[in-house]
Amino acid sequence: MSDAYGSYDNPYGVPPPYPNQPPSFPPPQVPAQLPPGVPPPPPPGPYQLPPGWAAPPREPKPGGVVAAAVLAFVLSGLTILVALLGMLGMVGAHVDSGTDPNDAVSAGDMVVGLVMLGCTLVASVAAVVLAGLALGRRQGARVTLVVLGFLYTVTLALIGVAMIVDGVRPATSTGEVIGGAIALAIGLVPTLSAVLLLLPSAGRWYASRPGARR
């Protein structure tokens, strides 16, 4: 039988759809034409930032932290240079003592000197690394650099005092006295660097680092 309205094949009387009825889904949208040379906008993503959003400005480094790192870089670089030259000089003096036998360096003295200069070299390289990490807002590097600075000052103070005492007694040696005074003056540099890292402004800057322990 036919499928007409109210027939046996259509017992519920549902009227058939009208001819040429538009589909239920919306037609595809045609993208607008962009002017020549204008790139298309990126497709929206689930993590797209809202318009007008900008990252917060980075907190500037305190001047004391920058100055302390620069002092550590300069002093450590000079110490590394002096340590390398001292090691080469001791080895050369042991191999070739020259015309004066008093200038000869024994094997034991050379080993002790090389060990001391080697420790100084390692400490200076560590100070350079710690200064770089301190600029990167690492609290542990800051504390370690402060401790290392005070130890460096104490070591230079002992060396300077010993040189001055040896230069004064029994006979005055101007060279040793001047060298001791220079050692004492250089020892003030790591102390100044440590004090700059302990300033309140530096403490607040390290404490406000994301993830820092309060």
Residue 9 lies in a domain: no
Contact at 8 Å (CB) between 94 and 104? yes
Name the stretches of the chain with pLDDT < 70. 1-32, 34, 41-57, 93-106, 109, 170-172, 210-214
If one counts the domains in the chain, the total is: 1
How confident is the model over 139-193, as pLDDT tens digits? Answer: 999 999 999 999 989 988 888 888 888 877 766 677 778 888 888 888 899 999 9
Residue 131 lies in a domain: yes
Rounded CA separation 213/207 (Å): 7
Residue 42's pLDDT is 65
Residue 90's pLDDT is 74
109 CB-side CA count, 13 A: 11
Residue 2 lies in a domain: no
Alpha carbon of residue 7 to chain centroid: 87
Q: For the purposes of burial, counting CB atoms within 10 Å of the CB of 107, is it exposed (0-12), middle (13-18) or buried (19 or more)? A: exposed
Contact at 8 Å (CB) between 164 and 176? yes
Residue 47's pLDDT is 59
Please report the sign of the dihedral spanned by the C-alpha atoms of residue 62, residue 63, residue 69, residue 72: negative
Residue 180's pLDDT is 84
Residues 6+ apart with CB under 8 A from 87: 113, 114, 117, 118, 121
Residue 214 lies in a domain: no
Domain that holds residue 143: 63-207
Residue 52's pLDDT is 59
Residue 94's pLDDT is 60
Residue 40 lies in a domain: no
Residue 15 lies in a domain: no
Residue 46 lies in a domain: no
**pTM of this prediction?**
0.64
Residue 174 lies in a domain: yes
Residue 126's pLDDT is 92
